[in-house]
């Protein structure tokens, strides 16, 4: 059975996007952090997105600017297989992308049951909430950023029930980021 993980950044006040759906505040360019992000990106697997995050990523990573700023991550993001869940997209043109339009929970259950590499959701709060409620997420890697946004979207908007998590490990960085690894509590 394949694992499904989440990798997301949040502000100190709990938002993963600001009030304008911007996530650029989460990107820091220092050697320690860049090395960590590149290591994560080179780990392989399948990238999973909702439409909003997919469109943002697809407009950035294939560009010359992305390859110049962070070539290792850009190469990995462009080469890895990707799945985008969206009822409104007609097609997904970023390299190696599969579009899933219907029954995202059922589709993810089938994907997890198939052989293949592990999968990771990036951004995509709506599907994080849905997959959390369905018990489909195996690990949460949450990056807490030393910034207060004041408004925005929380990672678990729309949750109808509680989801207890167990902290597995932490790592802090000189830039103020703290990464927290959680698994669903038993």
**Looking at residues 62-90, what average pLDDT do you find?**
92
Q: Would you state the structure tokens that stand for residue 144, as one six-digit string? A: 């807490």
Can you tell me the distance from the alpha carbon of 55 to that of 81, in angstroms, rounded to the nearest whole number? 15
Q: Would you state the structure tokens that stand for residue 140, as one six-digit string? A: 């949460």
Q: What angle do CA 32, 33, 35 make, to 5 degrees?
A: 70
**Looking at residues 143-151, what average pLDDT do you find?**
95
Q: Are 14 and 159 in contact (CB under 8 A)?
A: no
pLDDT digit string, tens, across residues 49-59: 999 889 989 99
Q: 123 pLDDT exceeds 90? A: no
Q: Give the pLDDT band (50/70/90) at residue 42.
A: low
Torsion of the alpha carbons at 116, 70, 8 and 175, rounded to the nearest 10: 140
Q: 143 pLDDT exceeds 80? A: yes
pLDDT of the residue at 28: 77
Percent of the chain with pLDDT over 70: 99
The domain limits of the chain are 4-184
**Looking at residues 83-112, what average pLDDT do you find?**
95
Q: Would you state the structure tokens that stand for residue 11, as one six-digit string? A: 């502000």
pLDDT of the residue at 23: 85
Percent of the chain with pLDDT over 90: 73
pLDDT of the residue at 26: 86
Can you tell me the distance from the alpha carbon of 29 to that of 14, in angstroms, rounded to the nearest whole number? 22
The architecture of the domain spanning 4-184 is 3-Layer(aba) Sandwich (3.40)
pLDDT of the residue at 41: 67
Q: Are 156 and 129 in contact (CB under 8 A)?
A: yes
Q: What is the pTM of this model?
A: 0.90
Q: Would you state the structure tokens that stand for residue 9, as one six-digit string? A: 């950044």
Q: Give the pLDDT band (50/70/90) at residue 71.
A: confident
pLDDT of the residue at 46: 95
């Amino acid at each position: 059975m394949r694992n499904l993980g989440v990798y997301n950044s949040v502000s100190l006040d709990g938002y993963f996007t600001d009030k304008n759906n911007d996530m650029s505040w989460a990107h820091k360019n220092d050697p320690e952090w860049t090395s960590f992000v590149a290591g994560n990106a080179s780990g392989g697997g399948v990238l999973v997105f909702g439409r909003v995050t997919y469109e943002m990523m697809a407009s950035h990573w294939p560009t010359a600017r992305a390859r110049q700023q962070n070539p290792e991550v850009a190469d990995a993001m462009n080469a890895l297989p990707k799945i985008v869940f969206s009822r409104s997209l007609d097609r997904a043109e970023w390299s190696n992308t599969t579009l899933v339009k219907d029954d995202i929970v059922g589709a993810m259950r089938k994907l997890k049951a198939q052989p293949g590499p592990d999968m990771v959701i990036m951004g995509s709060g709506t599907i994080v909430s849905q997959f959390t409620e369905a018990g489909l997420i195996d690990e949460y890697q949450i990056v807490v950023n030393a910034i207060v946004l004041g408004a925005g979207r929380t990672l678990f908007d729309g949750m109808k029930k509680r989801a207890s998590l167990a902290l597995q490990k932490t790592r802090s960085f000189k830039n103020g980021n703290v990464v927290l690894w959680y698994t669903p509590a038993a």
